[in-house]
Amino acid sequence: MDLKSKIILIYGPTASGKSNFAIKLAKKIKGEIINADSMQVYRQLQILTARPKKNDLKKAKHHLYGFYDVRKKCSSGEWLKHLLKKIKEIRKRKKVPIIVGGTGLYFKALTDGLVKIPNIPMKVRNKIRLMQKKIGQKKFYNKLLKIDPLIINKIEKNDVQRSIRAYEIKNFTKISILNWFKKTKKYISSNQFIKLYIDYPRESLINRINLRVDDMFANGAIEEVKKFNKLKVKKENSSNKVIGIKEITNLLNKQSTLEQAKDLIAIKTRQYAKRQVTWARGQMHSWQKINPKNLSLTLKKLK
Protein backbone atom coordinates (compact mmCIF):
# COMPACT_ATOMS: atom_id res chain seq x y z
CA MET A 1 0.00 0.00 0.00
CA ASP A 2 1.22 3.47 -0.91
CA LEU A 3 0.54 5.47 2.26
CA LYS A 4 1.26 8.76 0.46
CA SER A 5 -2.11 8.42 -1.29
CA LYS A 6 -3.91 7.93 2.03
CA ILE A 7 -5.23 10.07 4.89
CA ILE A 8 -4.91 8.45 8.31
CA LEU A 9 -7.64 9.16 10.85
CA ILE A 10 -7.02 8.44 14.55
CA TYR A 11 -9.97 8.72 16.93
CA GLY A 12 -10.06 7.83 20.62
CA PRO A 13 -11.37 8.90 24.00
CA THR A 14 -9.61 11.61 25.98
CA ALA A 15 -6.36 10.50 27.70
CA SER A 16 -6.12 7.35 25.54
CA GLY A 17 -2.64 8.30 24.26
CA LYS A 18 -3.72 9.12 20.71
CA SER A 19 -1.49 12.22 20.46
CA ASN A 20 1.68 10.32 21.44
CA PHE A 21 0.73 7.49 19.12
CA ALA A 22 0.20 9.95 16.25
CA ILE A 23 3.68 11.45 16.84
CA LYS A 24 5.35 8.01 16.75
CA LEU A 25 3.41 7.11 13.61
CA ALA A 26 4.26 10.44 11.93
CA LYS A 27 7.98 9.82 12.50
CA LYS A 28 7.77 6.33 11.02
CA ILE A 29 5.79 7.16 7.87
CA LYS A 30 6.82 10.80 7.23
CA GLY A 31 3.48 12.21 8.33
CA GLU A 32 2.19 15.54 9.60
CA ILE A 33 -0.45 15.78 12.32
CA ILE A 34 -3.69 17.77 12.07
CA ASN A 35 -5.93 18.42 15.08
CA ALA A 36 -9.49 17.07 15.16
CA ASP A 37 -10.41 18.13 18.69
CA SER A 38 -12.96 20.93 18.98
CA MET A 39 -11.42 22.27 22.21
CA GLN A 40 -7.74 22.06 21.27
CA VAL A 41 -8.34 24.66 18.55
CA TYR A 42 -8.42 27.41 21.22
CA ARG A 43 -5.22 29.42 21.66
CA GLN A 44 -5.72 30.49 25.28
CA LEU A 45 -6.61 27.01 26.64
CA GLN A 46 -3.53 24.86 26.24
CA ILE A 47 -3.38 23.17 29.66
CA LEU A 48 -7.06 22.37 30.23
CA THR A 49 -7.45 20.92 26.72
CA ALA A 50 -4.22 18.86 27.02
CA ARG A 51 -2.82 20.29 23.81
CA PRO A 52 0.54 18.84 22.69
CA LYS A 53 3.45 20.37 24.60
CA LYS A 54 6.46 22.17 23.09
CA ASN A 55 8.60 19.03 23.13
CA ASP A 56 5.89 17.13 21.25
CA LEU A 57 5.64 19.85 18.62
CA LYS A 58 9.36 19.43 17.90
CA LYS A 59 9.01 15.70 17.22
CA ALA A 60 6.51 16.08 14.36
CA LYS A 61 4.82 18.91 12.48
CA HIS A 62 1.41 19.83 13.99
CA HIS A 63 -1.44 21.85 12.45
CA LEU A 64 -4.70 23.50 13.64
CA TYR A 65 -3.76 23.49 17.33
CA GLY A 66 -4.41 26.72 19.23
CA PHE A 67 -5.23 28.64 16.05
CA TYR A 68 -8.58 30.05 17.20
CA ASP A 69 -9.43 32.74 19.75
CA VAL A 70 -11.69 31.63 22.64
CA ARG A 71 -14.01 34.58 21.94
CA LYS A 72 -14.88 33.17 18.52
CA LYS A 73 -16.95 30.13 17.63
CA CYS A 74 -15.19 27.40 15.64
CA SER A 75 -17.89 25.31 13.97
CA SER A 76 -17.25 21.94 12.32
CA GLY A 77 -17.68 23.70 8.96
CA GLU A 78 -15.02 26.27 9.83
CA TRP A 79 -12.66 23.52 11.00
CA LEU A 80 -13.29 21.47 7.83
CA LYS A 81 -12.43 24.45 5.62
CA HIS A 82 -9.04 24.84 7.34
CA LEU A 83 -8.48 21.08 7.36
CA LEU A 84 -8.96 20.59 3.61
CA LYS A 85 -6.45 23.38 2.98
CA LYS A 86 -3.90 21.71 5.29
CA ILE A 87 -4.37 18.30 3.64
CA LYS A 88 -3.52 19.85 0.25
CA GLU A 89 -0.41 21.56 1.66
CA ILE A 90 0.84 18.37 3.35
CA ARG A 91 0.32 16.31 0.20
CA LYS A 92 2.25 18.89 -1.82
CA ARG A 93 5.17 18.22 0.51
CA LYS A 94 4.70 14.48 -0.23
CA LYS A 95 3.88 13.77 3.41
CA VAL A 96 1.02 11.76 4.90
CA PRO A 97 -1.81 13.70 6.64
CA ILE A 98 -2.57 12.18 10.07
CA ILE A 99 -5.77 13.57 11.56
CA VAL A 100 -6.06 12.94 15.29
CA GLY A 101 -8.66 13.89 17.89
CA GLY A 102 -11.70 12.99 19.89
CA THR A 103 -14.46 15.07 18.30
CA GLY A 104 -16.71 12.64 16.47
CA LEU A 105 -18.61 15.36 14.60
CA TYR A 106 -15.36 16.65 13.07
CA PHE A 107 -14.53 13.21 11.70
CA LYS A 108 -18.10 12.75 10.48
CA ALA A 109 -17.93 16.09 8.64
CA LEU A 110 -14.75 14.91 6.91
CA THR A 111 -15.80 11.34 6.01
CA ASP A 112 -19.52 11.88 5.32
CA GLY A 113 -19.56 15.49 4.20
CA LEU A 114 -21.21 18.55 5.70
CA VAL A 115 -24.84 19.60 5.54
CA LYS A 116 -25.04 23.26 4.48
CA ILE A 117 -28.11 24.32 6.45
CA PRO A 118 -28.69 28.11 6.54
CA ASN A 119 -27.99 29.84 9.85
CA ILE A 120 -31.12 29.97 11.97
CA PRO A 121 -31.55 33.21 13.99
CA MET A 122 -31.07 32.83 17.76
CA LYS A 123 -34.51 34.38 18.34
CA VAL A 124 -36.13 31.51 16.44
CA ARG A 125 -33.99 28.87 18.16
CA ASN A 126 -34.62 30.24 21.66
CA LYS A 127 -38.37 30.44 21.04
CA ILE A 128 -38.46 26.75 20.04
CA ARG A 129 -36.33 25.69 23.03
CA LEU A 130 -38.62 27.57 25.42
CA MET A 131 -41.66 25.90 23.85
CA GLN A 132 -40.08 22.44 24.29
CA LYS A 133 -39.37 23.16 27.97
CA LYS A 134 -42.89 24.48 28.53
CA ILE A 135 -44.85 21.61 26.94
CA GLY A 136 -42.41 18.76 27.62
CA GLN A 137 -40.67 16.34 25.23
CA LYS A 138 -43.68 14.06 24.59
CA LYS A 139 -45.97 16.85 23.32
CA PHE A 140 -43.07 18.56 21.55
CA TYR A 141 -42.22 15.38 19.63
CA ASN A 142 -45.86 15.04 18.52
CA LYS A 143 -45.78 18.65 17.28
CA LEU A 144 -42.56 17.84 15.39
CA LEU A 145 -44.25 14.85 13.71
CA LYS A 146 -47.06 17.13 12.49
CA ILE A 147 -44.72 19.59 10.79
CA ASP A 148 -42.14 16.97 9.69
CA PRO A 149 -43.62 13.43 9.43
CA LEU A 150 -40.46 12.21 7.65
CA ILE A 151 -38.56 12.01 10.93
CA ILE A 152 -40.73 9.19 12.34
CA ASN A 153 -38.46 6.24 13.28
CA LYS A 154 -35.46 8.41 12.35
CA ILE A 155 -35.27 10.48 15.54
CA GLU A 156 -35.97 8.82 18.89
CA LYS A 157 -38.93 10.15 20.88
CA ASN A 158 -36.71 10.96 23.86
CA ASP A 159 -33.89 12.59 21.86
CA VAL A 160 -34.43 16.20 22.97
CA GLN A 161 -31.44 17.74 21.16
CA ARG A 162 -32.17 16.20 17.74
CA SER A 163 -35.90 16.85 18.07
CA ILE A 164 -35.28 20.55 18.70
CA ARG A 165 -32.80 20.72 15.82
CA ALA A 166 -35.24 19.00 13.42
CA TYR A 167 -38.05 21.33 14.50
CA GLU A 168 -36.08 24.54 14.08
CA ILE A 169 -34.79 23.46 10.64
CA LYS A 170 -38.26 22.55 9.32
CA ASN A 171 -39.82 25.61 10.94
CA PHE A 172 -37.28 28.06 9.50
CA THR A 173 -36.31 26.50 6.12
CA LYS A 174 -39.61 24.66 5.38
CA ILE A 175 -37.41 21.67 4.38
CA SER A 176 -37.08 18.47 6.44
CA ILE A 177 -33.74 17.82 8.15
CA LEU A 178 -33.66 14.47 6.29
CA ASN A 179 -33.88 16.22 2.92
CA TRP A 180 -31.05 18.54 3.97
CA PHE A 181 -28.95 15.45 4.75
CA LYS A 182 -29.56 14.16 1.20
CA LYS A 183 -27.85 17.31 -0.12
CA THR A 184 -24.66 16.49 1.79
CA LYS A 185 -21.50 16.88 -0.27
CA LYS A 186 -18.46 14.65 0.29
CA TYR A 187 -15.11 16.39 -0.12
CA ILE A 188 -12.80 13.34 -0.17
CA SER A 189 -13.56 9.84 -1.48
CA SER A 190 -13.89 7.12 1.18
CA ASN A 191 -11.13 4.90 -0.27
CA GLN A 192 -8.52 7.52 0.69
CA PHE A 193 -9.12 7.07 4.42
CA ILE A 194 -7.44 4.67 6.84
CA LYS A 195 -9.61 4.81 9.96
CA LEU A 196 -8.05 3.83 13.31
CA TYR A 197 -9.88 3.77 16.63
CA ILE A 198 -7.86 3.62 19.86
CA ASP A 199 -9.58 1.04 22.02
CA TYR A 200 -8.32 1.62 25.56
CA PRO A 201 -9.30 -0.48 28.63
CA ARG A 202 -11.67 1.57 30.85
CA GLU A 203 -9.78 1.00 34.12
CA SER A 204 -6.48 2.10 32.59
CA LEU A 205 -8.22 5.12 31.06
CA ILE A 206 -9.60 6.20 34.47
CA ASN A 207 -6.07 6.07 35.95
CA ARG A 208 -4.70 8.10 33.06
CA ILE A 209 -7.47 10.72 33.49
CA ASN A 210 -6.69 11.08 37.23
CA LEU A 211 -2.99 11.54 36.47
CA ARG A 212 -3.79 14.10 33.78
CA VAL A 213 -5.89 16.19 36.18
CA ASP A 214 -2.98 16.31 38.67
CA ASP A 215 -0.63 17.22 35.83
CA MET A 216 -2.90 20.08 34.71
CA PHE A 217 -2.91 21.68 38.15
CA ALA A 218 0.86 21.23 38.50
CA ASN A 219 1.39 22.96 35.14
CA GLY A 220 -0.70 26.09 35.70
CA ALA A 221 -4.38 25.26 35.07
CA ILE A 222 -5.51 27.76 37.74
CA GLU A 223 -3.54 30.61 36.15
CA GLU A 224 -4.94 29.67 32.73
CA VAL A 225 -8.52 29.96 34.02
CA LYS A 226 -7.74 33.32 35.67
CA LYS A 227 -6.57 34.68 32.30
CA PHE A 228 -9.57 33.13 30.51
CA ASN A 229 -12.05 34.76 32.92
CA LYS A 230 -10.47 38.18 32.31
CA LEU A 231 -11.42 37.87 28.61
CA LYS A 232 -15.13 37.82 29.55
CA VAL A 233 -16.08 35.24 26.92
CA LYS A 234 -19.81 35.13 26.11
CA LYS A 235 -21.65 32.29 27.84
CA GLU A 236 -22.89 30.77 24.57
CA ASN A 237 -19.35 30.40 23.18
CA SER A 238 -18.25 26.76 23.00
CA SER A 239 -14.90 27.52 24.66
CA ASN A 240 -16.85 27.88 27.93
CA LYS A 241 -17.61 24.14 27.71
CA VAL A 242 -13.97 23.18 28.27
CA ILE A 243 -13.89 20.91 31.32
CA GLY A 244 -12.19 22.66 34.22
CA ILE A 245 -13.21 26.27 33.59
CA LYS A 246 -16.34 26.15 35.77
CA GLU A 247 -14.70 23.98 38.46
CA ILE A 248 -11.59 26.16 38.80
CA THR A 249 -13.69 29.35 38.69
CA ASN A 250 -15.67 27.99 41.66
CA LEU A 251 -12.37 27.24 43.39
CA LEU A 252 -11.15 30.80 42.78
CA ASN A 253 -14.44 32.15 44.16
CA LYS A 254 -13.94 29.96 47.26
CA GLN A 255 -17.07 27.95 46.47
CA SER A 256 -15.11 24.68 46.56
CA THR A 257 -11.80 23.24 47.76
CA LEU A 258 -8.87 22.19 45.57
CA GLU A 259 -9.68 18.50 46.07
CA GLN A 260 -13.34 19.05 45.19
CA ALA A 261 -12.34 20.87 42.00
CA LYS A 262 -9.95 18.07 41.03
CA ASP A 263 -12.55 15.38 41.74
CA LEU A 264 -15.24 17.16 39.70
CA ILE A 265 -12.89 17.66 36.74
CA ALA A 266 -11.91 13.96 36.85
CA ILE A 267 -15.59 12.88 37.02
CA LYS A 268 -16.62 15.13 34.11
CA THR A 269 -13.62 13.96 32.04
CA ARG A 270 -14.57 10.30 32.66
CA GLN A 271 -18.14 11.07 31.59
CA TYR A 272 -16.85 12.77 28.44
CA ALA A 273 -14.61 9.78 27.65
CA LYS A 274 -17.63 7.50 28.04
CA ARG A 275 -19.61 9.61 25.54
CA GLN A 276 -16.70 9.40 23.09
CA VAL A 277 -16.65 5.59 23.39
CA THR A 278 -20.45 5.49 22.91
CA TRP A 279 -20.08 7.63 19.77
CA ALA A 280 -17.49 5.21 18.37
CA ARG A 281 -19.74 2.21 19.00
CA GLY A 282 -22.64 3.87 17.21
CA GLN A 283 -20.87 5.71 14.39
CA MET A 284 -17.53 3.99 13.71
CA HIS A 285 -18.35 0.38 12.84
CA SER A 286 -15.86 0.29 9.96
CA TRP A 287 -12.95 1.73 11.98
CA GLN A 288 -10.06 -0.58 12.84
CA LYS A 289 -9.44 -0.99 16.58
CA ILE A 290 -5.82 -0.58 17.63
CA ASN A 291 -3.68 -0.61 20.76
CA PRO A 292 -1.70 2.67 20.98
CA LYS A 293 1.16 0.89 22.75
CA ASN A 294 1.73 -1.48 19.84
CA LEU A 295 3.01 0.76 17.05
CA SER A 296 4.80 -2.04 15.16
CA LEU A 297 1.59 -4.12 14.92
CA THR A 298 -0.35 -1.10 13.66
CA LEU A 299 2.31 -0.43 11.01
CA LYS A 300 2.02 -4.05 9.85
CA LYS A 301 -1.76 -3.63 9.59
CA LEU A 302 -1.32 -0.39 7.61
CA LYS A 303 1.05 -1.99 5.14
> Which domains are assigned to the chain?
3-113+186-302 (3.40.50.300), 122-182 (1.10.20.140)
Predicted confidence (pLDDT) per residue in 36-73, tens digit = 999 999 999 999 999 999 999 999 999 999 999 999 98
**How far apart are alpha carbons 234 and 71 in whole angstroms?**
7
Distance CA 47, CA 219 (A): 7
Low-confidence ranges of the chain (pLDDT < 50): none
Largest CA distance in the chain: 58
Please, where are the H alpha helices in 219-294? 221-230, 245-252, 258-283
End-to-end CA distance of the chain: 6
Taking the model in full, what pTM does it have? 0.84
Residues 171-175: contacts with CB under 8 Å, at least 24 apart: 171/124, 171/128, 171/147, 172/118, 172/120, 172/121, 172/124, 173/117, 173/118, 173/120
3-state DSSP of 63-81: ECCCCECCCCCCCHHHHHH
**Averaged confidence pLDDT in the chain:** 93
The residue type at 65: Y
